[in-house]
Amino acid sequence: MSHKRIPKRKAAIAVGGVVALGAAAFLLPHANASQDTASGDAAAAPKTLKAADASDLASQLAGLLGDAFAGSYYDGDKRQLVVNVVPGDDDNVIVQAKKSGATVREVDNSMTELAEGKRTLKSEATIPGTSWAVDPRTNKILVTADSTVTGEKWDRLESTVQGLGSGMATIRKSEGTFRTFASGGDAIFSGGARCSLGFNVTADDGAPAFLTAGHCAVAADQWSDAQNGRPIATVDQAVFPGEGDFALVRYDDPATEAPSDVDVGGQTVGITEAAEATVGQEVFRMGSTTGLADGQVLGLDATVNYPEGTVTGLIQTDVCAEPGDSGGSMFTQDGLAIGLTSGGSGDCTVGGETFFQPVTTALAAVGATLGEAGAGAGADDQAGGEEAGGEDAGAGGEDAGAGTGDQAGEGGGEEAGQDDGTGYGVGQDAEDGAGDDGLIETH
């Protein structure tokens, strides 16, 4: 059998035929004493929930609590949903939230006030290299500026944040530079560009297709599963920049077979359906450059000001990614499709911020279905099958250097991974950066 070399910090280990995905422990802040709710006597004990169930409960409570609802997040340590409530004259809303099984915190900033703050940032501080999203764990807007935001731009951003008022927003600097993660190399190819396939889907007319990043699709119309190979898929719809970063790409062969899964390097995770992200949720990302990585959701409905333009409605995470990972899948251990890799800053050596396109939004926009509802897509012998992950060619072959073949987790194969002129080394240099002791072998 083939040997797969996978960075240890991103490895997935199969035990008894089931993929076990290791993850970092959650470090979620506990509520301050000043935020502890009163009127808890008759409340039911908080329920233990899976992240997906917590997301469903949060949606229900948002409707139930109305204007009193101020966001929510998932406490992974306690496996509980934490709901923020703005106290008012009617204490009954807090009682109702507690009876539902959620942990309730009283906070100061309402969703209306936070939304107004985001609108102010958009009108006064739309500066390339900045982003913002509501962090329900602090009940504030988290504003991030990358290393290019200096001088007058930094002063403008800082002044805008201060103008929102005390306790409304926090600002932090990122050491990296916000960019989309497209690069010349392997995985899915078009000319000198490389991206990663996200999720196989079924288009609205029943044809096989896949989702990837919009900034990949607006750059090129036809995509191959091997470097300099013949095209196997054509862009049908793409959005970037603007209200998202996603694309529907149709396989040229309508007879393409379609398992709905993610190849994590020798094993697969079955994808059953798309789901909304929850702040605090543990997630995994698969990309052709860096393989498998994990982390947690930090914010929803994030706005990111890339050099190419502003993108809204993204998911902010602390999962690492690098050039070539664009379009790759973000999912949960139990097979829920969450996002498509858009961009961010940093890398998988020092870490950083990464933003993802919600899969649910992309599916609704392009009219496609995913998982059991959509009977799959993805090429059997092209994008998702033997050739794609095999040793000869395809998206994961040794020569092409894709993320699912023998070179997976090494940043791509040596031939495809040379510096492409963008300044990103995604081949042998990426492997060396991980260090020999950072690799394990699986069979």
Last residue of a domain, one of 69, 91, 106: 106
Q: Is 9 inside any structural domain? A: no
> pLDDT at position 341, please?
97
Q: Is 305 inside any structural domain? A: yes
CATH of the domain at 65: 3.30.300
313 and 382 share one domain: yes
Residues of the chain with pLDDT under 50: 1-42, 183-186, 373-443
Q: Is 296 inside any structural domain? A: yes
Is the torsion defined by CA of 350, 280, 306, 365 positive or negative? positive
> pLDDT at position 372, please?
53
179 and 271 share one domain: yes
Q: Is 396 inside any structural domain? A: yes
Last residue of a domain, one of 131, 149, 173: 173
Would you state the structure tokens that stand for residue 220, as one six-digit string?
A: 């090129």
190 vs 227: CA distance, rounded Å = 8
CATH of the domain at 134: 3.30.300.50
84 and 217 share one domain: no
Catalytic residues: 215, 245, 326
Nearest Cα to 187, choosing from 127, 263, 280?
263
329 and 299 share one domain: yes
Q: Is 28 inside any structural domain? A: no
> pLDDT at position 305, please?
97
Q: What is the number of domains present in the chain?
A: 3
Spatial contact of 9 and 22, defined as CB atoms under 8 Å apart: no
Q: Is 201 inside any structural domain? A: yes
Last residue of a domain, one of 123, 146, 173: 173
291 vs 4: CA distance, rounded Å = 11
The crossing angle, in degrees rounded to 10, of helices 51-65 and 92-99 is: 160
141 and 178 share one domain: no
Classify strands 268-270 and 309-317 as parallel, antiparallel or unpaired. unpaired
Q: ∠ at Cα 196 (438, 226), nearest 5°? A: 100
222 and 302 share one domain: yes
Range(s) of the domain holding residue 86: 33-106
100 and 151 share one domain: no
Neighbouring C-alpha atoms within 13 Å toward the C-beta of 66: 6
Give a three-class secondary structure readout of the chain: CCCEEEEHHHCEEEECCEEEECCCCCCCCCCCHHHECCCCCCCCCCCCCCHHHHHHHHHHHHHHHHHHEEEEEEECCCCEEEEEECCCCCCHHHHHHHHCCCEEEECCCCHHHHHHHHHHHHHHCCCCCEEEEEECCCCEEEEEECCCCCHHHHHHHHHHHHHCCCCCEEEEECCCCCEECCECCCCEEECCEEECCCEEEECCCCCEEEEECHHHHCCCCEEECCCCCCCCEEEEEEECCECCCEEEEEECCCCCCCCCEEECCCCEEECCEECCCCCCCEEEEEECCCEEEEEEEEEEEEEEEECCEEEEEEEEECCCCCCCCCCCEEECCCCEEEEEEEEECCECCCECCEEEEEHHHHHHHHCCECHHHHCCCCCCCCCCCHHHHCCCCCCCCCCCCCCCCCCCCCCCCCCCCCCCCCCCCCCHHHHHHHCHHHEEEEC
83 vs 88: CA distance, rounded Å = 15
41 and 153 share one domain: no
102 vs 83: CA distance, rounded Å = 6
241 vs 305: CA distance, rounded Å = 9
Q: Is 191 inside any structural domain? A: yes
321 vs 291: CA distance, rounded Å = 9
203 and 166 share one domain: no
> pLDDT at position 192, please?
82
Nearest Cα to 176, choosing from 152, 145, 131?
145
119 and 98 share one domain: no
158 vs 130: CA distance, rounded Å = 11
Q: Is 57 inside any structural domain? A: yes
CATH of the domain at 193: 2.40.10.10
72 and 141 share one domain: no
Peptide bond into 241 cis (omega under 30): yes
194 and 341 share one domain: yes
